[in-house]
Structure 1
Amino acid sequence: MAVALAQSTFPIAHCALERRPPPAPSPSESYVKHANEQPARLAQPRKLLVLVDLNGTLLYRPRLDKAGQRRREHILRPGARELISYLFDNHAVMVYTSATRRNAVPCVDALLKHLAPAQRSQLIGIHPREQLGLTRAQLNAKVQVYKPLEPVWKLKAVQASAKRPGCGAWDVSNTVLLDDSVEKARANPHSLLQVPEFKLADDATQATSLAANTMKAEAAIMQRVQARLEQLKWEVSVPRRIRIWQEQKTTLVDRPDDDTFAAAAAAAYPTPEATPEIMPEATPEATPETEPVERHPPLPLQEPRSGPGMTTRN
């Protein structure tokens, strides 16, 4: 009986093991060395490779109801259309999402439908959940995933986009990850422009969910992202400048992200600073509404390591 029980429970235990999340990455020695150097300004601006997240960053994707139906259409974050137009006119854009391709494509369609066909054709592509190196069990489970930059640079479509006018070979110096999650940027923490999560009540309509002051506050967040990208296109290195913003807490924010970035940065630096989110300044006309901050378990601290110079591409 004992043997039969062990045999019958093995598949269950094996399945649970496969559903464990992938190990959390740490910044490479070369990335740490590069980001820790002093920032410098270019003589001429350049285009950046901007990897954009979807749900929670540029739009809200309502959850399914009990019947498996979407409760309503995707809702764009106020100011997202203007930001997307700016991105396509001034940078190279790719979608980098933890959603499956089936879920990502409708989001992208909703995000880009206001653009002219010539602009839409400039999207490099979608890098979905299926390409994040997950097992089949992890792919279908709600496990924590990560968004390292190195695999993106190796994609043929990304390498081809480097030949566009105003672009160059994509590497750590000119790549930005736009996301609402610090955790997903563990491998490249100083390449992240973080925004607070955009989330609405599933049982509310767009009109009731987005009050006038909330719409102004959300639009201001998108405007500040654009302003930061305008600064970064003049930088010799994106992570060097973002690191300075993080250390000096000058990312135009009202509150930090519960010190989660401090924990992530501790993997690379002995005295990290908390990373603030990109938030609009409160004004009498538009005071941002705050939501409870999702708390994450503390991340393991690692001592910084010294290593050889950085290699960003094969």
Structure 2
Amino acid sequence: MPAHATTKDAWTTHREPQQKATSTTPTTTTRTTQNPVYYNASTKTFYPSTPIRPITPTYTPIALQDPITVTKPRTLLVVLDLNGTLFYRAKNNKRNVTPRPHLQAFLDFIFEHCKVMVWSSAQPHSVDTMLSCGFGNRVEKLDRVWTRKDFRLSEHDYNKKVLTIKDLEFIWDAIKAEKAGTAASGAATDDEKASEEQPEAFDQTNTVLIDDSFDKVQLQPHNGVQLLDFDEDLARAGTDCELLKVKRYLEKLIYQKNVSAYMRVHPFNSNAPLHEDDFDVAKKNNDTKNARDADELADLASRLEKSSI
């Protein structure tokens, strides 16, 4: 079968991502301050003051290309949402944070194979709280951490429940500007030297946004992996396997020449089955982490004992 064949497998389902619609969703993408309009009346989420821009004209033609599988894994930029995706924050106590099951195995994989950043619509202090509940020393390895401050919201919208769209072009432009600044100065940090094998630029062919809301990725719809919302019920059950499914999906994406083309034909499917080896790998990673933590505690105890002599 040719590399660009589009035969459905167990991990994907042939469908075009569609924006969730309700009977109360207005057809216009603008609102005026004199006549506020809900973007989603059920969640009482308003339209932002700034009109939602159209999809960039060049985006769709690139996404419509045939998917092509490559032999060497590519470095992807993975953009992570936090609340509802990797964590559940209790509504009555925002500091009560529950990590999603299999978070460590998932993070181990993406930090080994991808360039990773966080972009959350939460305010900075809330982002810090969630990161401290599951990322550990991986926080230092994040390429960048973006919060509500990075949505370019007006002061009015920043303090109001408005739709926040994660425009990936903001990220691509920021990385491009940083590379240009480094080239102009002629200086490169150790991290930049270590990333020489990474792409010259990140764009729709090598970027994946992982979020529980399709609305937030509507400007680059074929770059979004939409997970089931990690809500209170799933947090209490403790049996959720969504991150293992995303890990398996990313194992396919790193071998794609154009992820937006592949994701258009094979969107992420939360109903895909898992195999026993997926759980074996997750258990092995968890055992490794526990052993590493035990070694660190033993080393700390030894150093404390020596310092007290």
- TM-score, normalised relative to structure 1: 0.64
Whether 2:113 is the aligned partner of 1:90: answer yes
Name the amino acid aligned to 2:76: L
CA contact 2:245–2:274 (8 Å) conserved in 1: no
CA contact 1:46–1:234 (8 Å) conserved in 2: yes
Aligned position for 2:292: none
Percent same amino acid among aligned pairs? 27
The separation in 2 between residues aligned to 1:233 and 1:45, in whole angstroms, is 5
Match of 2:221 among 165, 172, 189: 189
Aligned position for 2:129: 106
Q: What secondary structure sits across from 2:60 in the alignment? A: helix
Name the amino acid aligned to 2:246: V
Q: What secondary structure sits across from 1:49 in the alignment? A: strand
Q: What secondary structure sits across from 1:225 in the alignment? A: helix
CA contact 1:153–1:159 (8 Å) conserved in 2: no
Whether 2:59 is the aligned partner of 1:31: answer yes
Q: What secondary structure sits across from 2:117 in the alignment? A: strand
Report the Cα offset of residue 15 of structure 1: 11
CA contact 1:15–1:137 (8 Å) conserved in 2: no
Q: Structure 1 residues 194 and 242 mapped into 2: Cα distance closer, same or farther (>3 Å)?
A: same
The separation in 2 between residues aligned to 1:157 and 1:74, in whole angstroms, is 34
Match of 2:257 among 232, 236, 239: 236
The separation in 2 between residues aligned to 1:178 and 1:232, in whole angstroms, is 13
CA contact 2:213–2:226 (8 Å) conserved in 1: yes
Match of 1:142 among 153, 158, 161: 161
The separation in 1 between residues aligned to 2:264 and 2:257, in whole angstroms, is 13
| Farther off after superposition, 19-28 or 191-200 | 19-28
Whether 2:204 is the aligned partner of 1:172: answer yes
The separation in 1 between residues aligned to 2:163 and 2:66, in whole angstroms, is 33
The separation in 2 between residues aligned to 1:228 and 1:20, in whole angstroms, is 32
Please list every run of 5 or more consecutive structure 2 residues that lacks an aligned counterpart in the other structure. 1-32, 38-45, 180-190, 277-309
Name the amino acid aligned to 2:110: L
Partner deviation per Cα, 1:168-207 (whole Å, 9 max, x = no partner) = 1211110000001001111000000110100116xx9x6x
CA contact 2:95–2:129 (8 Å) conserved in 1: no
CA contact 1:27–1:189 (8 Å) conserved in 2: no
Name the amino acid aligned to 2:264: R
Q: What secondary structure sits across from 1:172 in the alignment? A: coil
CA contact 1:61–1:75 (8 Å) conserved in 2: yes
CA contact 1:59–1:74 (8 Å) conserved in 2: yes
The separation in 1 between residues aligned to 2:259 and 2:170, in whole angstroms, is 18
Which stretches of structure 1, 4 residues or longer, exceed 3 Å deviation after superposition?
13-17, 156-163, 251-254, 279-283
Report the Cα offset of residue 162 of structure 1: 7.1
Report the Cα offset of residue 281 of structure 1: 6.3
Partner deviation per Cα, 1:275-309 (whole Å, 9 max, x = no partner) = xxxx65699xxxxxxxxxxxxxxxxxxxxxxxxxx
Aligned position for 1:5: none
The separation in 2 between residues aligned to 1:111 and 1:157, in whole angstroms, is 30
- The structure, 1 or 2, with the larger RCO (C-alpha pairs under 8 Å, 6+ apart) is 2
- TM-score, normalised relative to structure 2: 0.65
Report the Cα offset of residue 252 of structure 1: 3.6
Report the Cα offset of residue 26 of structure 1: 3.3
